[in-house]
Amino acid sequence: MSGTQKALYLTARAGQWVVGEAPIPRPGPKDVLVKVVSAALNPIDWKLVDSPFSSIIQSYPFISGTDGAGIVEDVGVDVTTLVKGDKIVFQGYFVNELATFQQYCLVPAAITAKIPDNISFDEAASVPLGLATVVLALYNQDPKSDKTLRFTPPWAEGGTSQFAGKPAFIIGGSSSVGQYAIQIAKLANFSPIITTASPHNTTLLASLGATHILDRALPTSTILSKLPALAAGKPLEFVYDAISLADTQALAYQAASPGGAVVLVLPEVIPEELKKSKGGDGVRVSGVFGNVHHPDNRRCGEEMYARLTGWLEKGIIKPNRVEVLPNGLAGIPDGLARLEAFKVSGMKLIARPQETP
């Protein structure tokens, strides 16, 4: 397939989002060309405009988008697992040909999963980045990665018993990442699973596996005072901060028991005085780079995608609730503005590139 397509470009650092033309890329031997039916928006997309994250961008004009679902249009000569017409879910990357804010993109076949019949394209597109940000943070075993806790994965021996019956605390449970953190904690048999969220998201998070939902508006001191009883007196060995602002990082660190582990999704800003106040109790703090394309993450990403179809089909992993934006790619800038203003809760914004005027 050749020709041009519509794509959403960021024109320059601190520039504007503009719909323009892009060449339709050709798949390499191990790649597939995907007709992007649904692409999800993420906070990283608006942060790329003008922030320290902008350093990821190698050149402009730049196409963003790291969540996608679509139909295989063409396959590389070495691809044997997919054929034209297959419905797949996949993650994009920070290279124009691999990004999802366009009508066609490339993806290595090994990090894709077929979409089961019980999941729509829009729902499937809500999964890749959020799920990867949890799975890679917990289970990546690559020795070159310093952004993982290296827990035993649920697909390996002992992975569903290592933390069985032990409490987990997930900050920001209604965020996309938080919802997948709850579900992975359930898969690993953590119990109880405690989270913070707005009260109106209680029913949603309980359906995903959360056993206790604390109002995120409560003061840190109040949340900390409630945790021991909710954890039934057991040490809190695992805290996942899906928000990772300064106040939630402080909460996460204080909540973790000595010898426990904390995952942050943004750069660490835990005050040194807070660490000293805990007496150097050995709390591990790990970040995460939640993209399966990165070489250090690739093997774990392949393991995750090899199981994703089954997880979705069986309801082990449930997609986010979605809101479809109007006007395809042209609707994305307004959606990103809503994300930046924190006007989206418990919902994933989805664009349909093929509907671009």
The pLDDT score that the predictor gives to residue 279 is: 66
SS3 category, 6: strand
Bridge-based pairing of strands 112-114 and 87-90 is antiparallel
Cα dihedral 34, 36, 38, 44 in deg (nearest 10): 90
Rounded Cα–Cα distance for residues 130 and 135 (Å): 9
Choose the weakest-confidence range: 61-75, 116-130, 199-213, 267-281: 267-281
Highest mean pLDDT among 151-155, 280-284, 343-347: 151-155
Helices 246-255 and 220-230, interaxial angle, to 10°? 30
Q: With a cut of 80, say whether residue 281 has pLDDT above it.
A: no
Residue 100 has pLDDT above 90, yes or no: yes
Separate counts of helices (H) and strands (E) for the chain: 10, 16
Residue 277 above 80 pLDDT?
no
Which one has a higher pLDDT value, 282 or 133?
Answer: 133
Q: Determine the Cα–Cα distance for residues 13 and 260; give it in Å rounded to an integer.
A: 39
Q: Residue 7: its pLDDT value, please? A: 98
Q: How confident is the model at residue 75 (pLDDT cuts 50, 70, 90)?
A: very high
Is residue 143 scored above 70 in pLDDT? yes
Mean of the per-residue pLDDT values of the chain: 97
Question: What CATH number does domain 130-286 carry, 3.40.50.720, 3.90.1150.10, 3.40.50.300, 3.40.1710.10?
Answer: 3.40.50.720
Query: What confidence tier does 280 reach under pLDDT thresholds 50, 70, 90?
Result: low
Helix H, strand E, coil C: the string for 74-127 is EECCCCCCCCCCCEEEECCCCCHHHCCCECEEEEEHHHEEECCCCCCHHHHCCC
pLDDT value of residue 1: 76
Q: Taking the domain 4-127+319-355, which CATH number applies?
A: 3.90.180.10
Residue 53 has what DSSP assignment? G
Distances (CA, A) of 276 to 264, 266, 280, 325, 332: 19, 21, 6, 47, 44
Residue 346's pLDDT band, with cuts at 50, 70 and 90, is: confident
The pLDDT assigned to 275 comes to 86
What is the dihedral sign for C-alpha 357, 321, 179, 112?
negative
Indicate whether 45 pLDDT > 90. Answer: yes
Residue 153, CB-side half-sphere exposure with 13 Å CA sphere: 19
Question: Tens of pLDDT along 147-194?
Answer: 999 999 999 999 999 999 999 999 999 999 999 999 999 999 999 999
pTM for this entry: 0.97
For the chain, the structural domain boundaries read 4-127+319-355, 130-286
Contact indicator for 154, 187 with CB cutoff of 8 Å: yes
Lowest mean pLDDT among 52-66, 209-223, 271-285, 305-319: 271-285
Q: Looking at residue 276, what is its pLDDT?
A: 81
